[in-house]
Amino acid sequence: MAQMQAVIYEGPYKMEVKAVPRPYVDAETDAILKVELSALCGSDLHMYRGHQKTSTGHIMGHEFIGTVESKGSAVTRFEVGQRVMSVFSPMCMQCWNCLHGYTNRCVHGISFGSERLNGGQAEYVRVPFANSTLEHLPEAVPVERMLLMCDIFPTGYYGAMRAITKVLRNTDTAVTVAQTTSNLPDVPGIDSVLLNPQFIKQKPEDLVVLCLGCGPVGLCAILTAKTLVGEKGTVVAVDSVEDRLDEARKMGAKTLNLKTDDIVAEIKKLTDGRGADAVVESVGNKPALRLAYDAIRVCGALSSIGFHQGDLPFTAAEAYAKNIDINMGRAAARPVFAEALKVFAANQDKFDSFVSHKMPLAEAAAAYEMFEKQAARKVILTL
């Protein structure tokens, strides 16, 4: 059986590049890509550090770009030899969840680079549901930059968009229902006697959006938030690493340092004591989620795209007391991909500093070691 080189997970802090069997078309919806570029993603570190319980022996990586080497008969959107990219994780676009836009919860949506599906940090990768899991590359964006569209930009985009759209809608539920109940008879004389106040609806530019975490995904969320609230809107970015805060400022955010600033106090200063209208949390640990709770205003929208494995750091009583909107979980990449690409392409120059290292696949073990120590921002593996 034909062999290839691949990055194999051998347990916590153990990555090995070795020869494994080449993948082949297994279902008519499969495509096999000859990988050109793959990248390390922060979420790979959950496994690398041993926080994510998993077996060993599988190929890592869910961010990759390559050319179609072979394909099943049902793969109609792509031709052999075309250059394509992966969009987050496999999605069938046939199940109820996919058909309704919940592609983040495709019933067949197993992740690349997991014990259930080999990833793209290899010479070749098998892509299930290739028609919907893969995407063409737009000419307007250089190929290496498009690696950021495989996961981190759509994820950051989704996290920020989710918080901002939800908080903007928190004040207009009554209106929506008014439409729904318009078939009911009016109560005679009601309009003349009842208090029907005209409530103020916040506009995007009125918002103060707090982004916790300035890692790659966090920075993508920050740029999206700034795009959505516009020049007049406020985005505050928080991290403890100074050069990450520099990047956040380039994305248009005011910044606060977790080590030296009292985040809640500073946010309250900015909001007449209310707290942030929306919070986007991309850190993925309990203190970050607790800070999100403490810094948000009542009836604000909390969007958490960090990968959480433990308990929630606030009680039911606390959630009740603040009436907040809580939305956690991975991004639905497909519904937002086109819009996210629009935002990304218009700001792509801001992302050149993202890729700090380019190394051959053979040096993947060293790459993970650097990445884990935060000595590298984003590492691309080349072939």
**Residues in region 300-359 near a second copy by CB under 8 A:** 304, 307-317, 319-330, 334-339, 341-343, 345-346
Of 73, 186, 231, 373, the one binding a second copy (CB under 8 A) is 186
> Would you say 11 or 204 has its CB closer to a second copy?
204
With CB under 8 A as the rule, give the number of residues binding a second copy: 94
Does residue 1 bind a second copy (CB under 8 A)? no
> Would you say 209 or 383 has its CB closer to a second copy?
209
Of 132, 155, 234, 282, the one binding a second copy (CB under 8 A) is 132
Does residue 177 bind a second copy (CB under 8 A)? yes
Does residue 298 bind a second copy (CB under 8 A)? yes
The answer to whether 295 and 256 are in contact (CB under 8 A) is no
> Would you say 232 or 342 has its CB closer to a second copy?
342
Name the residue type at position 140.
A
Question: Segment near a second copy (CB under 8 A), from 17-25, 67-75, 190-198, 253-261?
Answer: 190-198
Sole residue written with tokens 């109820």:
96
For the four alpha carbons of 216, 83, 77 and 71, in that order, the dihedral sign comes to: negative
Does residue 74 bind a second copy (CB under 8 A)? no
| Cα within 13 Å of Cα(88), Cβ side | 23
CA distance 353 to 120: 23
Shortest distance (Å) from residue 51 CB to a second copy: 11
The answer to whether 209 and 159 are in contact (CB under 8 A) is no
The answer to whether 272 and 295 are in contact (CB under 8 A) is no
Question: Segment near a second copy (CB under 8 A), from 19-27, 67-75, 94-102, 351-359?
Answer: 94-102
Does residue 184 bind a second copy (CB under 8 A)? yes
Does residue 180 bind a second copy (CB under 8 A)? yes
Buried b (16+ CB within 10 A) or exposed e, 317-349: eeeeebebbbebebbbbbbbbeebbebbeebbe
Does residue 145 bind a second copy (CB under 8 A)? no
Question: Segment near a second copy (CB under 8 A), from 30-38, 96-104, 234-242, 371-379?
Answer: 96-104
> Would you say 106 or 122 has its CB closer to a second copy?
106
> Would you say 140 or 265 has its CB closer to a second copy?
140
CA distance 262 to 279: 16
Shortest distance (Å) from residue 6 CB to a second copy: 28
Q: From residue 24 to residue 63, what is the string marking binding to a second copy with x (rule CB under 8 A)?
A: ----------------------------------------
Does residue 174 bind a second copy (CB under 8 A)? yes
Does residue 286 bind a second copy (CB under 8 A)? yes
Question: Segment near a second copy (CB under 8 A), from 58-66, 169-177, 240-248, 367-375?
Answer: 169-177
Shortest distance (Å) from residue 270 CB to a second copy: 14
The answer to whether 265 and 290 are in contact (CB under 8 A) is no
> Would you say 69 or 325 has its CB closer to a second copy?
325
Does residue 2 bind a second copy (CB under 8 A)? no
Does residue 142 bind a second copy (CB under 8 A)? no
Sole residue written with tokens 């800070």:
291
Shortest distance (Å) from residue 158 CB to a second copy: 8
Does residue 140 bind a second copy (CB under 8 A)? yes
Q: Which of residues 225-244 bind a second copy (CB under 8 A)?
A: 227-228
Shortest distance (Å) from residue 111 CB to a second copy: 13
Shortest distance (Å) from residue 365 CB to a second copy: 29
